[in-house]
Structure 1
Amino acid sequence: MRDQTRHRYLQGIDRAVALLQHAVDTGAELPDPGQLAEAAHLSPFHFHRVYRALTGETPGGTVLRLRLLRALRLLADPAQPVTEAALAVGYETPQAFARAFRQAFDASPSELRGQAERLARAIARCSQAPALEREPAAELRVEVVSVEPFRVIAVRHRGDFDGLNLVYGRVFEWAATQGLVEHVTGIYGVPYGDPRDAPAAGLDFDCAVAFGRPAEPGDGLIAEDLGGGEWARFRHVGSFDLLDEVTDAMLAGWLADSGRELRDEPLFHHYLDDPEQTPEVLLRTDIYLPLA
């Protein structure tokens, strides 16, 4: 069952990669994230994270790698002009192609095509996704827990995830005006997207607080329900900056071997310590992944 689950996830990612490969090879328009998620049979909430966790690169990184791979193969033909190779793999100008090429290989297209062994190594490197080194699933100690639905009051922040403490401050300022600060029962975060993959302008993050008594949101705040059903929970101890990497390990390790599927809703974090009072290396965060 576990092997079948991992195989199913990998097959789904392979279908998404095949769509990207076809677009690069034919010069067609790249599929949008929804089309890639549909091909992979994954929720749009989780597609990018699962993709990165299982391949070691983002979909955009895959496109760049496949474009460069095709260009390398074209350049292996001495009769292929560099300008035509650039246009054939989707670059609008030879200059843009040369910049991407030099950044990837520390050489210009003309320089690399004149070094057969180096060109062959570059082709071999671009032919495979990056190798992953993941913490073994057994060491993650992931629990499957049932979580009763609970209400939170949140500010939905759009933009860079840096400085979220100021956004949480808005929730607590409102709570102080309502006499709710002493009734706080938990601090939560709901990331809609992965900050490593998407431009900041398209990222949403709910800075959320739960209270032990009923509360209605004020201006600029929202009420939402978290929990409900079964969740995979892992307790991370350390910097908040490592939460995305730990989530990758949960997806590539525990989830892919668990026989379980993800539910179509976002993951969330439960922050158990105050970063202003707790050393970074001791900060505890429970990561919750929704299970079908």
Structure 2
Amino acid sequence: MAPVNEAARPALKAGTRDAHERRIDRAVALIERAIAQGEEPPELGRLAEAAAFSPFHFHRVYRAMTGETTGQTVARLRLLQGLRLLASERRSVTDAALAVGYQTPQAFTRALRQSLGTAPSELRAEPERLWREIDRLAQPPQPEQGEDAPPLRVEVVSIDPFQVVALRVEGGYEAKHAGYERLFGWAGAHGLLDRLQGLYGVAVDDRRDVAEPQCRFDCMLALGEGVDPTGLPGLRLTRLGGGRYARIRHVGAFDGLEAATDALLARWLPASGERLGDALLYHDYLDDPDQVPQALLRTDVYLPLQC
């Protein structure tokens, strides 16, 4: 289970970041085409296929590189296309709304009010403002960490496969904490705590994209081989590691882990010359939050790479 450091492969020079952006652009193009034709946007699997990413990694890479989720892109581009049609005097509000996939003109109006704080008729009466909003919506938001951010300290390591016992929970931090308490309670009742080798976790969903009550997370303990997972409903055995990983250490509260992962995916990966592997992205929790202040908590993020 111990990691072995290795030198990172030489970064590809010109065009590596552009290549990643082109892959994401292929997914965006599918969304744009569907909206322009008044159709439902492609499902996540189709978008991931177009971008040549696995569905598990795609939504993380997409958000990290664009600064928005695919759902937010759909909402933005639908509103953008609606405004473009609204700018044409030949199209009524109803025509513009239905042409880009809104079920009713009222739905278009609600989207405009929520996003821009105005109604279609008011916006059409101010052509200059209308075109300013069209120009603004044509650009995705910028990712939180730009090129001026400090350099990342990333190690490329090889990890031997290791077994963990995993328990899936749904919810926020309290649900995760309760999940680990259940795992520790089960391990203690079976005399396994002296075999504890580490605490791990896999965020199945991004809490920024999924409502907290439905956000899935796998709590994991590494207890070595030969563990019987019976005695706790939902407990299962699985494996982590088994290949090359990019590792970055986050120091601070757990709610900063998404930003650390975004930085890996948006800043380091495109310039690294590496490609994502098919394994799970996972966290290695090095400190006990009940004993270590939040500002000092250490968590290693492991991003799988192709061998």
TM-score (norm 2): 0.90
- Conserved? CA contact 2:38–2:98, under 8 Å: no
Report the Cα distance in structure 1 between the residues aligned to 2:277 and 2:225, rounded to whole angstroms.
Answer: 29
Of 215-224 and 230-239, more deviation after overlay is shown by 215-224
The answer to whether the 8 Å contact 1:183/1:213 transfers is no
Q: Which moved more, 1:208-217 or 1:229-238?
A: 208-217
The equivalent residue for 1:98 is: 109
Matched with 1:68 is 79
Alpha-carbon contact 1:192-1:266 (below 8 Å) kept: no
SS at match of 1:23: helix
Given that 1:15 and 1:40 are in contact with CA atoms closer than 8 Å, whether structure 2 keeps it comes out as: yes
Query: What is aligned with 1:197?
Result: 209
Deviates more, 1:279-288 or 1:216-225: 216-225
* Pairing 1:77–2:88 present: yes
Q: Does 1:216 align with 2:213?
A: no
Which stretches in structure 2 are left out of the alignment for 5+ residues? 1-11
Distance 1:179 1:213, change over 3 A: farther
Is 2:192 aligned against 1:180?
yes
Answer with 190-199 or 18-27: which moved more: 190-199
Alignment gaps of 5+ in structure 1: none
Give the distance between the partners of 1:3 and 1:268, measured in 2 at CA.
30
AA matched with 1:249: A
Residue in structure 1 matched with residue 240 of structure 2 by the alignment: 226
Q: Is the 8 A contact 1:191 1:266 kept in 2?
A: no
Q: CA deviation at 1:134?
A: 1.8
In 2, the alpha carbon distance for the partners of 1:167 and 1:280 equals 19
Contact 1:273–1:283 (Cα < 8 Å) also in 2: yes
Letter in 2 for 1:166: A
Cα distance in 2, alignment partners of residues 2 and 278 from structure 1: 41
**Aligned letter for 1:134?**
Q
Q: Once the 2 structures are TM-superposed, how far is the Cα of residue 94 of structure 1 from its aligned partner?
A: 1.9
Does the CA contact (< 8 Å) of 2:172 and 2:213 recur in 1?
A: no
CA shift at 1:201, angstroms? 6.7
Specify which of 137, 149, 162 is matched with residue 161 of structure 2: 149
The aligned counterpart of 1:241 is 255
Shift of 1:2: 4.2
1:22 partner letter: R
Tell me the distance in 1 between the aligned counterparts of 2:60 and 2:108: 28
Q: CA RMSD in A?
A: 1.7
2:15 match: secondary structure: helix
Q: Deviations over 1:74-97 (max 9, x none)?
A: 111234221221111111122221
- Encode CA deviations 1:47-67: one digit per residue, 9 max, x unaligned: 001001111111111111111
Larger mean Cα displacement after TM superposition, 31-40 or 201-210: 201-210
* Cα displacement string for residues 146-196 of structure 1 (whole angstroms, at most 9, x for unaligned residues): 111111111022x32332100111111100111112321110001123222
**Alignment partners' CA distance in 1, 2:207 and 2:21:** 23
Does the C-alpha gap of structure 1 residues 15 and 285 become closer, same or farther in structure 2, counting only changes over 3 Å? same
* Residues 27 and 51 in structure 2, CA contact (< 8 A), matched pair in contact too: yes
How do residues 254-269 of structure 1 correspond to structure 2 at under 5 angstroms?
Answer: 254-269=268-283
Instruction: For residue 3 of structure 1, give the secondary structure of its aligned residue in structure 2.
Output: coil
**Number of residue pairs matched by the alignment:** 291
1:7 maps to which of 12, 15, 18: 18
Distance in 2, Cα, partners of 1:267 & 1:151 = 15
Q: Structure 1 pair 162/2, CA: closer, same or farther in 2 (3 Å)?
A: farther
- On the 8 A contact 1:142/1:233 being kept in 2, the answer is yes
Residue type of the alignment partner of 1:96: A
Q: Which amino acid aligns with 1:188?
A: Y
Given that 1:180 and 1:211 are in contact with CA atoms closer than 8 Å, whether structure 2 keeps it comes out as yes
Q: 2:284 aligns with which of 270, 275, 282?
A: 270
Q: Single out whichever of 98-107 and 131-140 deviates more from structure 2.
A: 131-140
1:108-150 Cα deviation digits (max 9, x unpaired): 1111111122111101101111123425576210000011111
Matched residue, 1:52: 63
Moved more, 29-38 or 210-219: 210-219
